[in-house]
Structure 1
Amino acid sequence: MTETTVPAALRPWSVGWPEYTPKDITPAELRPSALASQVPDWAEAAPTPAHVTDWAQRQAAALVPFEVDVWGWPLHPQGRTGRTGRNLGRWGENAAADPIVVAGTGEHRQVLLITRDDIGVEAIPGGMVDPGETAPAALVRELREETGVDLADHQPVILGRDIVDDWRQSDHAWVASTSALYLLPATVPAVAADDALDANWWPFGSLDELDAAVTFAGRTLYAAHRPLLQRALDQLADRD
């Protein structure tokens, strides 16, 4: 059978599961026949992980350590996902940067979110780190591209480097993000661009307050970013 939900006991790669048949989520443009004729500018050309030749370097540079199996395929650090194939630019880890911009203090605190154009939810204005780019540079670039806000002169607080529960992840391709907190005394103008349909400031006294405001507006908060936003709130609580 094809599994899309994996029981917690069967997620670890060390646990045998001969019947495991994950769902292939590879879109048409990333299938071998399509890559043979045209490679999207956001993706690597390797049709399978076996065609990747620098796994040792990728493992050494990874934000989150991962293993490669005996066939040369990278294994998701958190175990089986119920999905196989690739719906991301690279096999293995895809490095991302998520700038969390917070303005004001106390009950007047607000956070800057965008409406993503791919899944239509309210999310942190982040994205993938470009080849050869550093995470700090990507944080600034993604924020500027998606909201017009330029914080190149600001020093953020790095919150963590973690796996993100991205909707495109699979057993062999996933997202690991550097999340960072930027603090401003007050809100600044933000205009949606690039991959954003909209950009707005939202109340950010707590995750519940944010969720309620987003829901009241008829929108949905991106579930994968909830842990990152909560980490920012925890950091702010330590400063209060």
Structure 2
Amino acid sequence: MSEVTVPDGLRCWSVSWPEYTPTDITPPELRPSALAHHAPGWAEAAPTPADVHDWHQRQATALVPFELDDRGWPLHPLGRTGRTGRNLRKWGENAAADPIVVAGTGEQRWVLLITRSDIGVEAIPGGMVDPGETAPAALVRELREETGVDLADHRPTILGRDLVADWRQSDHAWVVSTSALYHLPAQVTAIADDDAADATWWPFGSLDQLDTAVTASGRTLYAAHRPLLERALGHLNRQ
């Protein structure tokens, strides 16, 4: 599936681009024909944004503000993505939680990452916030499910609530992550489970050090999580 490249000058929704024909990334199980018979338990049943009837509420509770187009469809806050359709739980904003677990200090810092089973890259052990769940609860649950590490008794530092360049995002569905820092005195045992193929402590004195270690192992750091890791490093270096 070839993806449409969006020039910087045409990314903004206010800039006219009549020829824009984004690639539909909707998987078979979320296409209207499939949803008419069965909706996966992890996804809302609305075939298109026109079938969603609580847009005003979703806008009011969004972590990152977004607008609706003339059809009443949600628009990605950062503009055109080159993709249309939906490959996420719901249309519009999808809330995620990313716990950044760091052990040690200075040049002896380590960060806990998982190997994602879906795209095979090294990433922060996180995931989507369940319906009715708070972001703090999701941080604890996702970490425990993917690494076996239970930090329910720890109070993390919330680093931010940010749009992330998730590989499943489109013009009308995207991910906003609450990232939080857990700083431990030493490494704890981590065992991969759930959506994680592996759980590994990596050197985290700097992002370059992390990059070098991940690359030397023949693995790849998830690009969408780099800004979150950089923010965590910035916070640690100011302490």
Q: State the TM bucket, normalised to the shorter chain.
A: over 0.9
Q: Kindly, what percent of the aligned residue pairs are identical? A: 80
Contact 1:3 1:21 in 2 (8 A): no
Contact 1:3 1:20 in 2 (8 A): no
SS of residue matched to 2:102: strand
Q: Which amino acid aligns with 1:101?
A: V
* Counterparts of 2:67 and 2:145, CA distance in 1: 34
- Write the mapping of 1:51-70 to structure 2, written as runs, cut at 5 A: 51-70=51-70
* Counterparts of 2:3 and 2:41, CA distance in 1: 31
**Which aligned runs of 4 or more in structure 1 are off by greater than 6 angstroms?**
none
Q: Which amino acid aligns with 1:41?
A: G
Q: What do residues 9-37 of structure 1 show as CA deviations (whole Å, max 9, x unaligned)?
A: 10000111111111101010000011111
Q: Does 1:4 align with 2:4?
A: yes
Contact 1:101 1:182 in 2 (8 A): yes
Q: What do residues 80-104 of structure 1 show as CA deviations (whole Å, max 9, x unaligned)?
A: 0000000111000000000000000
* Counterparts of 2:137 and 2:3, CA distance in 1: 38
Contact 1:25 1:86 in 2 (8 A): yes
The CA deviation at 1:3 is 5.9
Q: What do residues 32-86 of structure 1 show as CA deviations (whole Å, max 9, x unaligned)?
A: 0111111111100000000000001111111100001121100000000000000
TM-score between the two structures when normalised by the length of structure 1 = 0.98
Q: What do residues 161-202 of structure 1 show as CA deviations (whole Å, max 9, x unaligned)?
A: 000001110000000000000000000000000000000100
* Counterparts of 1:194 and 1:64, CA distance in 2: 28
* Counterparts of 1:177 and 1:61, CA distance in 2: 14
Q: Does 1:122 align with 2:125?
A: no
Q: Gaps (5+ residues) in structure 2?
A: none
The CA deviation at 1:106 is 1.1
Aligned to 1:233: 233
Aligned to 1:197: 197
Aligned to 2:147: 147
Aligned to 1:27: 27
Aligned to 1:175: 175
SS of residue matched to 2:221: coil
Q: Gaps (5+ residues) in structure 1?
A: none
TM-score between the two structures when normalised by the length of structure 2 = 0.98
* Counterparts of 2:194 and 2:57, CA distance in 1: 31
* Counterparts of 1:57 and 1:117, CA distance in 2: 34
Aligned to 1:161: 161
Q: Which amino acid aligns with 1:128?
A: M
- Number of aligned residue pairs: give it: 238
* Counterparts of 2:191 and 2:60, CA distance in 1: 38
SS of residue matched to 1:81: coil
Aligned to 1:212: 212
SS of residue matched to 2:188: coil
Q: Does 1:43 align with 2:32?
A: no
Aligned to 1:106: 106
Q: Which amino acid aligns with 2:156?
A: P
